[in-house]
Structure 1
Protein backbone atom coordinates (compact mmCIF):
# COMPACT_ATOMS: atom_id res chain seq x y z
CA UNK A 1 0.00 0.00 0.00
CA UNK A 2 1.40 3.38 -1.03
CA UNK A 3 0.55 6.69 0.59
CA UNK A 4 1.27 10.16 -0.58
CA UNK A 5 2.32 12.68 1.96
CA UNK A 6 -1.08 14.36 1.74
CA UNK A 7 -2.86 11.00 2.15
CA UNK A 8 -0.76 10.15 5.21
CA UNK A 9 -1.63 13.47 6.86
CA UNK A 10 -5.35 12.99 6.11
CA UNK A 11 -5.32 9.48 7.58
CA UNK A 12 -3.37 10.65 10.64
CA UNK A 13 -5.81 13.50 11.26
CA UNK A 14 -8.77 11.19 10.90
CA UNK A 15 -7.20 8.66 13.31
CA UNK A 16 -6.58 11.37 15.92
CA UNK A 17 -10.18 12.60 15.59
CA UNK A 18 -11.59 9.09 16.07
CA UNK A 19 -9.41 8.36 19.11
CA UNK A 20 -10.17 11.77 20.64
CA UNK A 21 -13.91 11.14 20.26
CA UNK A 22 -13.57 8.11 22.56
CA UNK A 23 -14.72 5.71 19.86
CA UNK A 24 -18.30 6.13 21.01
CA UNK A 25 -17.58 5.09 24.61
CA UNK A 26 -18.34 7.29 27.60
CA UNK A 27 -14.91 7.21 29.24
CA UNK A 28 -15.96 9.41 32.17
CA UNK A 29 -18.65 6.96 33.22
CA UNK A 30 -16.18 4.08 32.96
CA UNK A 31 -13.61 5.92 35.11
CA UNK A 32 -16.26 6.82 37.71
CA UNK A 33 -17.49 3.22 37.86
CA UNK A 34 -13.92 1.95 38.39
CA UNK A 35 -13.41 4.45 41.22
CA UNK A 36 -16.71 3.39 42.81
CA UNK A 37 -15.67 -0.28 42.66
CA UNK A 38 -12.37 0.56 44.38
CA UNK A 39 -14.19 2.29 47.25
CA UNK A 40 -17.05 -0.21 47.59
CA UNK A 41 -17.33 -1.42 51.19
CA UNK A 42 -14.98 1.26 52.55
CA UNK A 43 -15.63 3.31 55.66
CA UNK A 44 -15.16 7.02 54.93
CA UNK A 45 -13.50 8.86 57.82
CA UNK A 46 -12.87 12.63 57.85
CA UNK A 47 -9.43 13.58 59.10
CA UNK A 48 -6.87 16.39 59.11
CA UNK A 49 -3.52 16.42 57.29
CA UNK A 50 -0.58 16.46 59.71
CA UNK A 51 2.21 17.91 57.60
CA UNK A 52 2.22 21.71 57.77
CA UNK A 53 -0.41 22.46 60.43
CA UNK A 54 -2.58 24.29 57.90
CA UNK A 55 -5.57 22.15 58.87
CA UNK A 56 -6.43 20.77 55.42
CA UNK A 57 -9.23 18.22 55.50
CA UNK A 58 -8.90 14.63 54.27
CA UNK A 59 -11.38 11.87 53.57
CA UNK A 60 -9.82 8.52 54.42
CA UNK A 61 -11.35 5.40 52.86
CA UNK A 62 -10.64 2.43 55.13
CA UNK A 63 -11.30 -1.21 54.25
CA UNK A 64 -10.36 -4.11 56.55
CA UNK A 65 -8.37 -1.77 58.79
CA UNK A 66 -6.19 -0.49 55.94
CA UNK A 67 -6.14 2.85 54.16
CA UNK A 68 -7.30 2.15 50.59
CA UNK A 69 -7.66 5.69 49.24
CA UNK A 70 -7.61 9.28 50.41
CA UNK A 71 -9.10 12.45 48.97
CA UNK A 72 -9.28 16.07 49.94
CA UNK A 73 -12.42 16.90 51.92
CA UNK A 74 -14.56 19.26 49.80
CA UNK A 75 -16.43 20.39 52.94
CA UNK A 76 -13.23 21.63 54.63
CA UNK A 77 -13.04 25.46 54.40
CA UNK A 78 -9.24 25.48 54.26
CA UNK A 79 -8.44 23.26 51.27
CA UNK A 80 -11.95 22.80 49.79
CA UNK A 81 -11.09 19.32 48.54
CA UNK A 82 -7.62 20.01 47.13
CA UNK A 83 -4.43 18.38 48.40
CA UNK A 84 -0.78 19.34 48.11
CA UNK A 85 1.72 16.65 47.03
CA UNK A 86 2.70 15.91 50.65
CA UNK A 87 -0.89 15.28 51.73
CA UNK A 88 -1.59 13.20 48.62
CA UNK A 89 1.37 10.95 49.53
CA UNK A 90 0.12 10.12 53.03
CA UNK A 91 -0.86 6.58 52.02
CA UNK A 92 2.72 5.85 50.95
CA UNK A 93 4.02 7.31 54.21
CA UNK A 94 1.70 5.11 56.28
CA UNK A 95 2.72 1.87 54.57
CA UNK A 96 6.33 2.57 53.65
CA UNK A 97 8.73 -0.26 54.51
CA UNK A 98 11.27 2.46 55.42
CA UNK A 99 9.10 3.78 58.25
CA UNK A 100 10.63 3.01 61.68
CA UNK A 101 8.39 0.95 63.95
CA UNK A 102 10.54 1.11 67.11
CA UNK A 103 12.56 3.85 68.82
CA UNK A 104 16.08 4.25 67.45
CA UNK A 105 19.13 5.36 69.44
CA UNK A 106 22.46 6.60 68.14
CA UNK A 107 25.20 6.70 70.76
CA UNK A 108 27.50 9.76 70.82
CA UNK A 109 30.21 9.31 68.20
CA UNK A 110 28.46 6.37 66.57
CA UNK A 111 27.57 6.29 62.89
CA UNK A 112 24.55 3.98 63.15
CA UNK A 113 21.21 3.76 64.90
CA UNK A 114 20.19 0.75 66.96
CA UNK A 115 16.69 -0.40 67.95
CA UNK A 116 15.78 0.07 71.60
CA UNK A 117 12.61 -0.82 73.49
CA UNK A 118 9.90 1.73 74.25
CA UNK A 119 10.62 1.36 77.98
CA UNK A 120 14.29 2.18 77.44
CA UNK A 121 13.36 5.18 75.28
CA UNK A 122 10.97 6.53 77.96
CA UNK A 123 13.61 6.01 80.62
CA UNK A 124 16.32 7.82 78.61
CA UNK A 125 14.00 10.75 77.85
CA UNK A 126 12.92 11.12 81.50
CA UNK A 127 16.52 11.02 82.75
CA UNK A 128 17.63 13.59 80.15
CA UNK A 129 14.77 15.96 81.01
CA UNK A 130 15.65 15.71 84.72
CA UNK A 131 19.36 16.27 84.01
CA UNK A 132 18.79 19.34 81.81
CA UNK A 133 16.13 20.75 84.17
CA UNK A 134 18.44 20.46 87.17
CA UNK A 135 21.37 21.95 85.27
CA UNK A 136 19.47 24.95 83.86
CA UNK A 137 17.06 25.69 86.73
CA UNK A 138 16.80 29.34 87.74
CA UNK A 139 15.06 30.09 91.04
CA UNK A 140 15.48 33.85 91.26
CA UNK A 141 16.48 36.72 89.03
CA UNK A 142 17.71 40.21 89.80
CA UNK A 143 15.73 42.96 88.09
CA UNK A 144 15.69 46.74 88.20
CA UNK A 145 12.49 48.31 89.50
CA UNK A 146 11.17 50.62 86.77
CA UNK A 147 9.78 53.17 89.24
CA UNK A 148 12.53 53.37 91.85
CA UNK A 149 15.53 52.16 89.86
CA UNK A 150 16.48 49.86 92.75
CA UNK A 151 17.69 46.30 92.20
CA UNK A 152 15.28 43.61 93.39
CA UNK A 153 15.43 39.83 93.54
CA UNK A 154 12.28 38.10 92.28
CA UNK A 155 11.28 34.45 92.20
CA UNK A 156 11.09 33.04 88.64
CA UNK A 157 11.39 29.22 89.00
CA UNK A 158 12.08 28.21 85.41
CA UNK A 159 14.22 25.78 83.41
CA UNK A 160 15.67 27.71 80.49
CA UNK A 161 17.42 24.69 78.95
CA UNK A 162 14.19 23.02 77.79
CA UNK A 163 11.80 24.11 75.06
CA UNK A 164 8.40 22.57 74.25
CA UNK A 165 7.59 22.49 70.54
CA UNK A 166 4.09 21.59 69.41
CA UNK A 167 3.30 19.76 66.21
CA UNK A 168 0.69 19.64 63.48
CA UNK A 169 0.29 15.96 64.41
CA UNK A 170 -1.46 16.74 67.70
CA UNK A 171 -5.03 17.86 68.32
CA UNK A 172 -6.30 20.50 70.75
CA UNK A 173 -6.45 18.14 73.72
CA UNK A 174 -2.89 16.93 73.18
CA UNK A 175 -1.72 20.54 72.76
CA UNK A 176 -3.35 21.36 76.09
CA UNK A 177 -1.53 18.45 77.77
CA UNK A 178 1.81 19.49 76.20
CA UNK A 179 1.27 23.01 77.52
CA UNK A 180 0.54 21.64 81.01
CA UNK A 181 3.67 19.44 80.84
CA UNK A 182 5.80 22.44 79.83
CA UNK A 183 4.50 24.41 82.81
CA UNK A 184 5.00 21.43 85.10
CA UNK A 185 8.68 21.05 84.19
CA UNK A 186 9.14 24.81 84.36
CA UNK A 187 10.05 25.83 80.82
CA UNK A 188 8.92 29.28 79.70
CA UNK A 189 9.55 28.43 76.04
CA UNK A 190 6.38 27.18 74.33
CA UNK A 191 6.42 27.18 70.55
CA UNK A 192 4.53 25.56 67.71
CA UNK A 193 5.56 24.22 64.36
CA UNK A 194 3.27 26.64 62.53
CA UNK A 195 5.12 29.70 63.91
CA UNK A 196 8.67 28.45 63.37
Structure 2
Protein backbone atom coordinates (compact mmCIF):
# COMPACT_ATOMS: atom_id res chain seq x y z
CA UNK A 1 0.00 0.00 0.00
CA UNK A 2 1.41 3.38 -0.99
CA UNK A 3 2.06 5.90 1.72
CA UNK A 4 0.01 9.05 1.86
CA UNK A 5 2.00 12.18 1.03
CA UNK A 6 1.83 15.13 3.39
CA UNK A 7 -0.23 17.20 0.91
CA UNK A 8 -2.89 14.47 0.64
CA UNK A 9 -3.76 14.54 4.32
CA UNK A 10 -7.41 15.53 4.84
CA UNK A 11 -6.54 18.35 7.24
CA UNK A 12 -4.22 19.91 4.61
CA UNK A 13 -6.92 19.48 1.93
CA UNK A 14 -9.39 21.25 4.24
CA UNK A 15 -7.34 24.42 4.39
CA UNK A 16 -6.04 24.41 0.81
CA UNK A 17 -9.49 23.86 -0.71
CA UNK A 18 -11.35 26.30 1.51
CA UNK A 19 -13.38 23.53 3.18
CA UNK A 20 -12.37 24.57 6.69
CA UNK A 21 -15.22 22.74 8.45
CA UNK A 22 -14.15 19.42 6.94
CA UNK A 23 -17.65 18.47 5.82
CA UNK A 24 -17.23 18.87 2.08
CA UNK A 25 -15.07 17.39 -0.67
CA UNK A 26 -11.85 17.80 1.35
CA UNK A 27 -12.61 14.80 3.53
CA UNK A 28 -13.36 12.37 0.70
CA UNK A 29 -10.50 10.36 -0.67
CA UNK A 30 -9.80 9.82 -4.36
CA UNK A 31 -10.96 6.23 -3.97
CA UNK A 32 -14.27 7.35 -2.49
CA UNK A 33 -14.79 9.90 -5.30
CA UNK A 34 -14.16 7.16 -7.87
CA UNK A 35 -16.84 4.84 -6.45
CA UNK A 36 -20.04 4.71 -8.48
CA UNK A 37 -23.37 3.62 -6.99
CA UNK A 38 -24.69 0.23 -8.13
CA UNK A 39 -27.99 1.90 -8.94
CA UNK A 40 -26.49 4.02 -11.74
CA UNK A 41 -25.01 1.02 -13.55
CA UNK A 42 -28.21 -1.07 -13.51
CA UNK A 43 -29.69 -2.17 -16.85
CA UNK A 44 -33.24 -1.78 -15.58
CA UNK A 45 -35.31 -1.04 -12.51
CA UNK A 46 -38.25 -3.25 -11.58
CA UNK A 47 -40.97 -2.29 -9.11
CA UNK A 48 -41.73 -4.93 -6.51
CA UNK A 49 -43.21 -5.46 -3.05
CA UNK A 50 -41.20 -6.41 0.02
CA UNK A 51 -41.64 -10.14 0.79
CA UNK A 52 -41.41 -9.98 4.56
CA UNK A 53 -44.66 -8.76 6.10
CA UNK A 54 -48.20 -7.91 5.11
CA UNK A 55 -47.57 -4.14 5.00
CA UNK A 56 -46.61 -4.28 1.32
CA UNK A 57 -43.82 -1.73 1.18
CA UNK A 58 -42.81 -0.80 -2.35
CA UNK A 59 -39.34 -1.68 -3.57
CA UNK A 60 -37.21 -0.75 -6.53
CA UNK A 61 -35.14 -3.72 -7.70
CA UNK A 62 -32.04 -2.75 -9.69
CA UNK A 63 -31.00 -5.42 -12.20
CA UNK A 64 -27.73 -5.67 -14.12
CA UNK A 65 -26.99 -8.58 -16.46
CA UNK A 66 -30.15 -10.35 -15.19
CA UNK A 67 -28.84 -10.28 -11.60
CA UNK A 68 -30.26 -8.23 -8.73
CA UNK A 69 -27.57 -5.76 -7.67
CA UNK A 70 -29.52 -3.51 -5.27
CA UNK A 71 -32.96 -3.17 -3.68
CA UNK A 72 -34.19 0.14 -2.30
CA UNK A 73 -37.46 1.63 -1.11
CA UNK A 74 -39.77 2.93 -3.84
CA UNK A 75 -40.48 6.64 -3.28
CA UNK A 76 -43.58 6.31 -5.51
CA UNK A 77 -45.17 3.76 -3.16
CA UNK A 78 -48.13 5.24 -1.26
CA UNK A 79 -47.60 2.61 1.46
CA UNK A 80 -43.96 3.17 2.39
CA UNK A 81 -42.99 6.35 0.47
CA UNK A 82 -39.46 5.11 -0.15
CA UNK A 83 -38.79 3.71 3.30
CA UNK A 84 -37.92 0.12 4.22
CA UNK A 85 -37.43 -1.53 7.58
CA UNK A 86 -34.06 -3.25 8.24
CA UNK A 87 -35.36 -6.59 6.93
CA UNK A 88 -36.77 -5.00 3.78
CA UNK A 89 -33.55 -3.10 3.22
CA UNK A 90 -31.67 -6.41 3.36
CA UNK A 91 -33.86 -8.07 0.69
CA UNK A 92 -30.96 -8.13 -1.76
CA UNK A 93 -29.17 -10.53 0.58
CA UNK A 94 -32.21 -12.81 0.55
CA UNK A 95 -32.16 -12.92 -3.25
CA UNK A 96 -28.41 -13.35 -3.73
CA UNK A 97 -27.47 -15.48 -0.74
CA UNK A 98 -25.33 -18.50 -1.71
CA UNK A 99 -27.19 -20.44 1.03
CA UNK A 100 -30.60 -19.89 -0.59
CA UNK A 101 -32.39 -23.18 -1.28
CA UNK A 102 -33.57 -23.24 -4.89
CA UNK A 103 -34.74 -26.85 -5.17
CA UNK A 104 -37.54 -28.85 -3.59
CA UNK A 105 -36.13 -30.94 -0.75
CA UNK A 106 -37.98 -33.88 0.80
CA UNK A 107 -37.18 -36.02 3.81
CA UNK A 108 -39.06 -39.30 3.91
CA UNK A 109 -40.75 -40.40 7.14
CA UNK A 110 -38.10 -41.65 9.59
CA UNK A 111 -35.46 -40.57 7.08
CA UNK A 112 -32.26 -38.80 8.01
CA UNK A 113 -31.29 -37.27 4.65
CA UNK A 114 -32.93 -34.81 2.34
CA UNK A 115 -33.52 -35.77 -1.29
CA UNK A 116 -34.31 -33.54 -4.23
CA UNK A 117 -37.71 -33.78 -5.91
CA UNK A 118 -38.93 -32.11 -9.04
CA UNK A 119 -41.65 -29.51 -8.48
CA UNK A 120 -44.44 -31.47 -10.21
CA UNK A 121 -43.85 -34.52 -8.00
CA UNK A 122 -43.84 -32.38 -4.85
CA UNK A 123 -47.08 -30.59 -5.82
CA UNK A 124 -48.76 -33.95 -6.58
CA UNK A 125 -47.65 -35.34 -3.19
CA UNK A 126 -49.05 -32.32 -1.37
CA UNK A 127 -52.35 -32.42 -3.27
CA UNK A 128 -52.78 -36.16 -2.64
CA UNK A 129 -52.10 -35.78 1.09
CA UNK A 130 -54.38 -32.75 1.34
CA UNK A 131 -57.30 -34.57 -0.31
CA UNK A 132 -56.70 -37.76 1.69
CA UNK A 133 -56.67 -35.84 5.01
CA UNK A 134 -59.86 -34.03 4.00
CA UNK A 135 -61.58 -37.27 2.99
CA UNK A 136 -60.48 -39.24 6.09
CA UNK A 137 -61.48 -36.57 8.61
CA UNK A 138 -64.62 -35.14 6.99
CA UNK A 139 -67.50 -34.44 9.37
CA UNK A 140 -70.78 -33.99 7.51
CA UNK A 141 -73.03 -33.74 10.57
CA UNK A 142 -72.83 -33.93 14.34
CA UNK A 143 -74.50 -36.76 16.38
CA UNK A 144 -77.76 -34.74 16.53
CA UNK A 145 -77.86 -34.47 12.73
CA UNK A 146 -76.94 -30.78 12.53
CA UNK A 147 -74.85 -30.01 9.46
CA UNK A 148 -71.15 -29.39 10.05
CA UNK A 149 -69.56 -29.83 6.60
CA UNK A 150 -66.02 -29.48 7.91
CA UNK A 151 -62.76 -31.35 8.25
CA UNK A 152 -60.55 -31.54 11.30
CA UNK A 153 -57.72 -33.14 9.32
CA UNK A 154 -56.49 -29.92 7.72
CA UNK A 155 -55.18 -26.80 9.40
CA UNK A 156 -53.60 -23.66 8.02
CA UNK A 157 -50.85 -21.59 9.55
CA UNK A 158 -50.40 -18.42 7.51
CA UNK A 159 -47.32 -16.30 7.67
CA UNK A 160 -46.47 -12.63 7.82
CA UNK A 161 -44.08 -13.07 4.90
CA UNK A 162 -46.96 -13.20 2.45
CA UNK A 163 -49.04 -10.16 1.65
CA UNK A 164 -52.71 -9.52 2.38
CA UNK A 165 -53.87 -10.76 -1.02
CA UNK A 166 -52.06 -14.10 -0.63
CA UNK A 167 -53.40 -14.50 2.93
CA UNK A 168 -56.90 -13.78 1.60
CA UNK A 169 -56.56 -16.45 -1.11
CA UNK A 170 -55.18 -19.00 1.37
CA UNK A 171 -58.12 -18.32 3.70
CA UNK A 172 -60.57 -18.78 0.81
CA UNK A 173 -58.89 -22.06 -0.25
CA UNK A 174 -58.94 -23.58 3.24
CA UNK A 175 -62.50 -22.40 3.92
CA UNK A 176 -63.68 -23.92 0.64
CA UNK A 177 -61.94 -27.19 1.58
CA UNK A 178 -63.85 -27.26 4.88
CA UNK A 179 -60.99 -26.46 7.22
CA UNK A 180 -61.89 -24.49 10.33
CA UNK A 181 -58.49 -24.44 12.02
CA UNK A 182 -56.84 -21.39 10.51
CA UNK A 183 -54.31 -19.21 12.24
CA UNK A 184 -51.67 -16.68 11.31
CA UNK A 185 -48.15 -16.54 12.66
CA UNK A 186 -48.62 -12.83 13.37
CA UNK A 187 -51.21 -13.67 16.07
CA UNK A 188 -49.25 -16.44 17.78
TM-aligned CA distance change 1:85 to 1:111, over 3 Å:
farther
Task: Please give the secondary structure, in 2, of the residue aligned with 1:164.
Answer: strand
Task: Please give the alpha-carbon distance, in whole angstroms, between the structure 2 residues aligned to 1:181 and 1:24.
Answer: 59
Tell me how large the CA RMSD over aligned residues is. Answer: 3.4
Deviates more, 1:39-48 or 1:94-103: 39-48
Task: Please give the alpha-carbon distance, in whole angstroms, between the structure 1 residues aligned to 2:125 and 2:138.
Answer: 20
Q: Which runs of 5+ in 2 are unaligned?
A: 1-10
Question: Over alpha carbons, which structure has the higher Rg?
Answer: 1
Alignment-derived partner of residue 110 in structure 1 = 111
Deviation at 1:139, TM superposition (A): 0.9
Task: Please give the alpha-carbon distance, in whole angstroms, between the structure 2 residues aligned to 1:183 and 1:43.
Answer: 41
Whether 1:178 aligns to 2:179 is no
Task: Please give the alpha-carbon distance, in whole angstroms, between the structure 2 residues aligned to 1:127 and 1:89.
Answer: 37
8 Å CA contact retained: 2:14, 2:26: no
Deviation at 1:159, TM superposition (A): 0.9
Task: Please give the alpha-carbon distance, in whole angstroms, between the structure 2 residues aligned to 1:166 and 1:32.
Answer: 47
Task: Please give the alpha-carbon distance, in whole angstroms, between the structure 1 residues aligned to 2:154 and 2:97.
Answer: 33
Q: Deviations over 1:142-172 (max 9, x none)?
A: 5xxxxxxxxx531111112212344433562
Deviates more, 1:153-162 or 1:68-77: 68-77
Q: Deviations over 1:114-141 (max 9, x none)?
A: 1112122122112211222123211112
Between Structure 1 and Structure 2, which shows a larger proportion of helix residues?
1
Whether 1:188 aligns to 2:174 is no
Deviation at 1:98, TM superposition (A): 1.7
Q: Which runs of 5+ in 1 are unaligned?
A: 1-13, 143-151
Alignment-derived partner of residue 169 in structure 1 = 162
TM-aligned CA distance change 1:107 to 1:178, over 3 Å:
same
